[in-house]
Amino acid sequence: MDPQTAVDRLKDLDRQIRVLLHAQSVLNWDRETQMPEAAVEERAEQISAMEGIIHGRITSEEIGALLQDAGASEENPSGEKTLVSLDRAFLRRLHRLYRRHTKLPSDLVTDTAKTASRAQSVWRAAREESEFEAFAPHLKRLLELRVETADRLGYEEHPYDALLDEFEPWTTTRFVSQLFGELRQSLVPLVKEIGSARQGENPLVGRRFPRDGQEAFGRFVLEHMGYEFTRGRLDVSAHPFTDKLGRDDVRVTTRYNEEYLGTSLFGTIHEGGHALYEQGFPKSIKELILGEGASMGIHESQSRLWENFIGRSRSFWRYFYPKLVDQFPDQLHDISLDDFYRAINRVEPSFIRVEADEVTYNLHIILRFNLEKRLVAGELTVEDLPEAWREESKELLGIAPKKDADGVLQDVHWSFGAFGYFPSYALGNLYAAQFYASLRAAVGDLDEQLGNGDLSPVLSWLRSNVHAPGSTLTPTELCEEVTGSSLDAGHFTSYLREKYAGIYELR
């Protein structure tokens, strides 16, 4: 078969795979938002049945043969040079997916899935009791399975490369280690400096914000961001997420805490950022594997850019704070814009990652990255993990948790074997800072526009620069294309320094 015909046929097959993936998302979304408790077991069977079907499609002999006909191979994943660049980008992504699925024997995949589902329920109980010993044997087994996965997938330098690549395609451990090293050098002293500055009481604490008002305000902000409710929904789930149930069906969830406004407020903006990315892929690619985020880190850059760089900025709140006061007059009438701005930007080292502020957040990630790397390389045993956690925490954040529930047991990720996932969060912050610097340079009067409640310059810049390419580019290529240089931690650290020097009156 000639290469072009092979590519066209592959696109048909890929479209069908997307349809199945979206159908699987319907099952997942329903499980998290609507499903009655009694359906848990059957739903797990339904989802795993879909997984089996999708895996079968991806690894089909037909796809293997067509990739060959198109000239795509391990050495040359983009296929024949005569193909147009969009087709070559398509082949590169599809070949990568095919390769990852075919390299792993099905018993390794099912063994990992079973071990993970058991480990997750053990982890939940262990966290409740703060008892690491109960969880340790399961974690040990998962680690073995993931190391085997890395060996099967292959890597050049570090076994962690193969695991990281699942979330950050074509990104290496060496590159991340170097970035995180620089980040650490600026963040640790900044946190210390802020720690010795004076910080008053948080005026938002001790006030009650009824749920209905929070939801109304969340919808109001999402609409201003440009989220299309005709192609999405906002619902409630225990852990907020964004899911694509179809090319024109991208849903977000949030959760409400009446004692703490920030949970839903920033959670909704965060998920809105993810959803705008998914709603923003152009027609030419949105039916294909190319209509996906370039990586988890790039995805996270979109949510963080909206949540922190826009949603925690003073300009944004110049317009939105009076609206929020209208929504909650009794709760907010005596809090000024300045005090509110300081309250939503408080910095304080704490144990729990998901509650961490913008400044300390990445230190939580660096801690996990350091430990994961050592675990995967066999330099640290699971038995020694809690102690290693406390040591790292002391060094990075200046505090060490007394209970494992506040330390090594706090996150769900390891309980399903997702080693290599955490770096995406911090990479997302770094990409966001670098994109934000380019956005500011491109939109000269950004602060003024934000102050007028006009968020459209942000979305249109993201649409044409970050969303339009989908996953035709690798994260590294995308960053270079959009900002003119490769990822550099300096954008993030200078953004933090400037912002927090103002808030905390640092030198």
Catalytic residues: 271
Give alpha helix (H) positions in 280-345: 296-304, 314-327, 329-332, 337-343
Q: Residue count at the site for Zn ion (CB under 5 A)?
A: 1
- Nearer residue to Zn ion within complex by CB, 78 or 303: 303
The beta-strand segments (E) located in 46-157 are: none
Structure tokens at 120: 């997750």
Considering beta carbons, is residue 160 or 266 the nearer one to Zn ion?
Answer: 266
Helix axis angle, 132-153 to 385-397, nearest 10°: 90
Q: Segment contacting Zn ion (CB under 5 A): 86-94, 225-233, 303-311, 320-328?
A: 303-311
Q: How far is the CB of 325 from Zn ion (least distance, A)?
A: 28
E strands, 39-168, in order: none
Which of 197, 169, 143 is closest to 502 using CA atoms? 197
Q: Which stretch binds Zn ion (CB under 5 A): 56-64, 65-73, 299-307, 442-450?
A: 299-307
Identify which range of 40-48, 155-163, 296-304, 327-335 contacts Zn ion by CB under 5 A.
296-304
The smaller minimum CB distance to Zn ion, of residues 249 and 307, is found at 307
What are the backbone angles phi and psi of residue 253, rounded to the nearest 5°? -130, 160
For strands 234-236 and 249-254, give the pairing: parallel
Q: Which is nearer to Zn ion, 17 or 478 (CB)?
A: 478
Distances (CA, A) of 185 to 22, 188, 196, 336, 371: 42, 6, 18, 35, 18
Q: Which is nearer to Zn ion, 59 or 303 (CB)?
A: 303
The reply to whether 429 sits near Zn ion by the rule CB under 5 A is no
Please tell me whether residue 255 adopts helix, strand or coil conformation: coil
Distance CA 496, CA 345 (A): 11
* 313 lines the binding site for Zn ion (CB under 5 A): no
Task: Tell me which H or E stretch contains 92.
Answer: helix 85-103
Q: Is 303 in the site for Zn ion (CB under 5 A)?
A: yes
Q: Would you say 428 and 304 are in contact if contact means Cβ atoms under 8 Å apart?
A: yes
Region near Zn ion per CB under 5 A, out of 98-106, 135-143, 297-305, 314-322? 297-305
Q: In the bound complex, which residue of the shown chain has the CB atom lying closest to Zn ion?
A: 303
Nearer Cβ to Zn ion, position 303 or 471? Answer: 303
Q: Whole-angstrom Cα distance, residue 208 to residue 348?
A: 23
User: Which residues form the interface with Zn ion (CB under 5 A)?
Assistant: 303
